[in-house]
Amino acid sequence: MSTNHESLILRIVTWKLRLSLLLATSLYGQFHQLETKNVRLVYLGKSQEYLAPHVARCYENALQFHRSLFDYSSDERATVLMDDFSDYGNGGASTVPYNLIRVGMSPFSYVYETMPANERMNWMMNHELAHVVIMDKGIGADNFYRTLFFGKVLPTAQHPESMLYSYLTNPRRYTPRWYLEGSAVFLETWMAGGLGRALGAYDEMVFRTMVRDGAYIYDMVGLESEGTTVDFQVGVNAYLYGTRFMSYLAYQYTPEKLIEWLSRKPGSKAYFAGHFKKTFGLSIDDGWRDWIEWERGWQNANLDSIRLQPTTPYRPIIQEALGSVSRAFYDSTSHQMYVAVLYPGKTAHIAAIEIASGRLQKISDVPGPALYSVSSLAFDPAAKILFFTSDNGNWRDLRRVDLRSGQTKMLMKDSRVGDLAFNAADQSLWGVRHDNGLSTLVRIPPPYNEWNQIHTFPYGRDFYDIDVSPDGAHLTGALVEVNGQQRLVKFAIGKLLAGDASFEVLFDFENSNPANFIFSADGRYLYGSSYYSGVSNIYRYDFEKSDMEILSNCETGFFRPLPISADSLVVMNYSGKGFVPVVIANQPLQTVSAVKFLGNEIANKYPIVRNWIIPSPAAVNLDSLGAANGKYNLLPNIRLASAYPVVEGYKDFAAVGVHLDFSDRIGLSGLGATVSYTPDGDLPADERLHVSSSFRHWQWELHASYNGADFYDLFGPTKTSRKGYSLGIKYKKSLLFDPPKTVSLNFSVTGYGGLERLPDFQNVAATFEELLSARASLNFQNVRKTLGAVDDEKGVKWQLAARNNYVNKKAFPGIYTTLDYGILLPVKHSSLWLRSSAGQSFGDRENPFANFFFGGFGNNWVDHLDEKRYREYYSFPGVELNEIGGRNFAKTMLEWNLPPLRFRRVGFPAFYLNWARLAVFSTGIRTNLDDAATRLTSVNLGAQLDFRLVLFSHQAATFSVGFAAAKNRARRDSHEWMISLKLL
């Protein structure tokens, strides 16, 4: 679960946009809340009310444990935000400016057993509260700064000094993601009695495979700079490495010593690495190296154990790993298998793979893939139709692709149905729908544009990985209970359609997943996989014998079996770069070998972790905690979050002042205000006071300024500070939010007084002091990038914007448009973009309010806006800022983005280099197309090299160097150098 504040804010923004659409269509009324003395649970609508008491009990239950373990206390009542905007459960936590946890109601994705089958709200509270306690707990110095700054400071790009203040008020927030996720996973496992990823078979498999293959195991810096970006598992590597390192420390030094390191107690070091040395007596780099060496020995012993029995031979179909893979289907007429894949350097897609030759052909893109499972697929072999899900990270859509024509069609938008299975007997689709925290078995008859509810399982019981027998009589799947028990079960479809949801248990896998069991062509067998022996092997259930047989003894892990003949199966073999399709024999084995789990050995060596299991949350009495229900309103909950000193620039002068930050508890409304003063006597007295403020509420923002100043005006050529005053309002409405496709409408009206310079163009003098400016834009975006990319790599962006400057009783309307189109080149992570824009303004050509102006990179030496400023329509590197002007214009730019260079080890945990990337561009512009006398044509050629830096373990910064040369007929040739450091 995400702990990075920016990741949580991104989720809340996504939540906010989707909620805005729902409110617009009146699907939800307003916020509700359930409060106790320790937590404020905010949720939407009566339909979610049934779960609120359980979530509150889970929170209180977990809080009691963490308070005891970490000696934690806080006067702050935390906020839990519950939503249902994703079809799979997820969560996030932050401690600045307030303690906030976000939880998604939906069931988890259990694919490959990457998540435990624990009751999900109990699990999320155990996990997310570990984040809150570890990050939030303060001692003398921390509490002093929290008092000094009136709270925990949220770092903002507008005032980068806030980064330092934020660290002083909340130092343990500034730790790597592996530290936060690893500690939470370690604790969650023992709090659930060993049901968790610290005892997970997937984690053991990952490191066993790395050791077997001699793969590079990242050090701390390399993990964050490269390991969580280029690997097919991306950010999940933070969980894998972090959990493993924490488990090693507990095994090697005792669990109590690990908790001592994680705790912020009197005498502890503020920075996590410094406290590691104080706790364990060696540097954290040395500790990490010791772990890697130990891990190699541990996994070699496991490999030796597996090899006590003959391992299953296999024949690779293709040599390259496919990254994440979906369920596969075999077409006996074409001898091809169809599977959805997701791996670095390529967008997610459905592929056809010839079994004999291994030739791979792309069939269709998969918009919005899911990590590990990519998409849910079903196959109609008679019609040659593949059904698949898209937008898998939000509310799933149902699509189909015709294998004969290659045409793709949307069948149902936001159907929220996955785990698809095709019934050849009546051509219906079956699936599992997630909604409001519940799993519902549904049937989708032709023409597949509506679903029919068959059976809704009670909360806590989830159903997944379903299949339909060839004769259409039975439906099987994995059924997980609230206690984590997992069984392979069979339903009679006739009974289901009649309302009878009774089932037969075929096999009890206890706490292991019965994963992706599918029928053989004759219906006699079910083939699937499970970690039942500790290693993921292939199993076969024989209906005639009512018996489960094991078919493989694998060193890494076999998954997703696909029978292609009576004696052969295609299975997905786990490798360090993802899953590889291989062929194995369809033949039972007598026995297989087991492996040791590090978690088990910790429990055996240190029985104290067995005592960390928490009681059932059902025992929590909410009434004794003052539980009360009510409405949650944003505006009454706005409070002062922090106040701190700032430095700003005004023209060529420095100003000092204070910034006040007010916010509601879930970050949807707030007020920011800055007051500063320039003491320099060279500045006129009426310009020494600077005030700026911004109030935001939902999609609205009200902003005002008086002699507005800006921190970044202290550094470099671009100045946004302006003499005079302004008052304006902005509105942003999301018309479509279906990532990667979005449509938004922006509108603003701002009044200015006392102007010296145009608000948008610093080098253009205002001909009148007062201005009323109205602007509107319609924005469309449908862009994508592959795993491991650092920027958008393909797609379309489009904007249509209108402006109207009203000056001295005259209106100067104008309109412009931009269009960006990009393609992914054959070289991994290299793309080519054509960026074009054109505009027309109306009014007196000699009046600056009727003109567009262009010029310069636009980056300051220290900056906070987009480092790729040369992409903006008003930019033209190689000439001075605002040097080119005209009442109308046409502009186009060709940009080539080269592949990024990743760095495994440049720096140290608090400051390191992530990647470097070069872009080359050439732009042509023509202004005043309708007037030959003033027409100007210019071209440029430039390049920009960006270096991504990370400060305080996870605050991103970008150092950029750029150069451009410009040429035109009317003026001398010119060139421009640009150096910039973008913060946050």
Tokens, residue 951: 């400060």
Cα gap 211→209, rounded to integer Å: 5
Task: Write down the pLDDT at residue 28.
Answer: 42
Q: Ramachandran region of residue 290, left (φ > 0), alpha (ψ -120 to 50) or beta?
A: alpha
- Predicted pLDDT at 19: 57
Nearest one of 638, 746, 751 to 697, comparing CA atoms:
638
- Residue-level pLDDT at 26: 37
Give the DSSP per-residue string, 859-894: --SEE-S-S-GGGSTT-BTTS-TT-EEESEEEEEEE
Q: What is the mean pLDDT of residues 129-144?
A: 96
Give the percent of the chain with pLDDT over 70: 97
- Flag whether pLDDT at 738 surpasses 50: yes
27, 33, 82, 197, 666 from 102: Cα distances, Å: 21, 14, 6, 21, 9
Could you read off the pLDDT of 712-723 as tens digits, one per residue? Answer: 999 989 999 999
Locate 619 and state its tokens.
Answer: 């025992």
* pLDDT digits 0-9 by tens, 512-539: 999 999 999 999 999 999 998 899 999 9
Token representation of residue 11: 């989720």
Is this model's pTM higher than 0.75 or not? yes
Phi, psi torsion values for 70, nearest 5 degrees = -105, 5
**pLDDT for res 972:** 78
Stretch 583-599: mean pLDDT, rounded?
93
Q: How high is the pLDDT of residue 953?
A: 80
pLDDT (tens digit per residue) in 68-114: 999 999 989 999 999 999 999 999 999 999 999 999 999 999 999 98
Band (pLDDT 50/70/90 cuts) for residue 225 is confident
- CA-CA distance, 649 to 291, in Å (whole number)? 49
**pLDDT-derived band at 9, boundaries 50, 70, 90:** very low
Among 823, 826, 818, 783, residue whose Cα is nearest residue 801: 818
Kindly give the pairing relationship between strand 78-83 and strand 39-44. parallel
| Cis? peptide before 447, omega within 30° of 0 | yes
Selection from 113, 226, 87 nearest residue 787 by Cα: 226
Q: What is the pLDDT of residue 6?
A: 46
Contacts 24+ apart (CB under 8 A), 609-612: 609/190, 609/250, 609/255, 610/190, 610/193, 610/194, 612/65, 612/69, 612/187, 612/190, 612/191
Residue 483 has pLDDT above 80, yes or no: yes
User: Which residue bears the tokens 């997310």?
Assistant: 128
CA distances from 212 to 219, 241, 530, 556, 576 (A): 18, 17, 21, 9, 10
Q: Using DSSP, state whether 53 is helix, strand or coil.
A: helix
List pLDDT tens digits, range 802-820: 999 999 999 999 999 999 9
Mean predicted lDDT score pLDDT of the chain: 93
Q: Dump the DSSP string for 212-227.
A: HHTPPPP-HHHIIIII
Q: Residue 24: which pLDDT band, with cuts at 50, 70 and 90?
A: very low
| Structure confidence at residue 870 as a pLDDT band (50, 70, 90) | very high
| pLDDT tens digits, 167-195 | 999 999 999 999 999 999 999 999 999 99
Specify the DSSP class assigned to residue 323.
B
Query: Residue 22 above 60 pLDDT?
Result: no
pLDDT surpasses 50 at 5: no
590 band by pLDDT with thresholds 50, 70 and 90: confident
Percent of the chain with pLDDT over 90: 86
Please report, as a single letter, which amino acid is at residue 239: Y
Which residues, at least 6 apart from 636, have a Cβ–Cβ distance to it below 8 Å? Answer: none
User: Does the pLDDT of residue 284 top 80, yes or no?
Assistant: yes
The pLDDT value given to residue 905: 83
Residue 16: predicted pLDDT = 52
Residue 162 pLDDT class (50, 70, 90 cuts): very high
pLDDT at residue 234 tops 90: no
Question: Torsions phi, psi of 803, nearest 5?
Answer: -140, 155
Q: Could you tell me the pLDDT band of residue 15, with boundaries at 50, 70 and 90?
A: low
Task: Specify the DSSP element, H or E, that contains 241.
Answer: helix 236-253
pLDDT greater than 50 at residue 468: yes
pLDDT (mean) for 891-901: 97
* Mean pLDDT of the region 242-251: 98
